[in-house]
Amino acid sequence: MKLLKKGAEGDIFLTKHENVLAILKTRKKKQYRNQILDDKIRTGRTIRESTVMSEVKEFGVRTPLIYQVDPTDCAILMQRIKGSVVRDLSGKKLVSACREIGKITGTLHKNGIMHGDLTTSNFILSGGKIYTIDFGLSQRTTRIEDHAVDLRLFKEILNSAHVGMMKTLWSSFLSGYRSAVGPVRYGQILNHVSVIEGRGRYAQVV
């Protein structure tokens, strides 16, 4: 088993499942957190992540197949998506990936799910298709406010990870999002993004 990534929450390993390469995602104990609470959080996120990853396939959002879930060890064994994370793309590929991410986000929202961690590292381009990962912070919600928070986070990420292309990428994302949710909902959500940005704590990005 090879360690691919040490994350804030857990580690990602490259391993094998029935002779094909697979990903093992684990969530480590946090010593600074109360043990009972920590177990609850880690187990909850593990179950949520694996459940939502399977559910969203129903409405056409591509995600890795889940092979095994171990709620006690807080581990998920899943299909390895071969490709590159959108964060590592550039130029036209990055622009069209952002449009696709917008469409995916809109599809999730239309079906009452907020992703909760919309960053360009949580989308993988593989064989010309975008796969969505990292659903540990996802929530079932149809509230405008929650959906706007998803958009606002993505905008912030563009401004830090892709600052030179921020405007192009943001409008590309928005056109994809609009195509999925329709003009009325789009207007409401975007309006609310401005409301969030108007609150002192968040400075407006661009």
Residues in the site for ligand ATP, rule: CB under 6 A?
A: 4-5, 7-10, 12, 23, 25, 64, 78-81, 85, 121-122, 124, 133-134
- CB-closest chain residue to ligand ATP: 7
Report the nearest approach of Mg ion to the CB of residue 179 (Å): 25
Among 49, 134, 146, 150, the residue binding Mg ion under the rule CB under 5 A is: 134
Distance CA 180, CA 183 (A): 9
**Residues with catalytic annotation?**
117
- Residue whose CB is less far from ligand ATP, 5 or 167: 5
| Residue 71 touches which member of ligand ATP, Mg ion, none, C-beta under 5-8 Å by kind | none
Do residues 98 and 169 lie in contact, with contact meaning Cβ atoms separated by under 8 Å? yes
Do residues 64 and 46 lie in contact, with contact meaning Cβ atoms separated by under 8 Å? no
Distance CA 77, CA 102 (A): 27
| Residue 10 touches which member of Mg ion, ligand ATP, none, C-beta under 5-8 Å by kind | ligand ATP
| Residue 52 touches which member of ligand ATP, Mg ion, none, C-beta under 5-8 Å by kind | none
Q: Is 2 exposed, middle or buried (0-12, 13-18, 19+ CB in 10 A)?
A: exposed
Residue with tokens 């600074």: 32
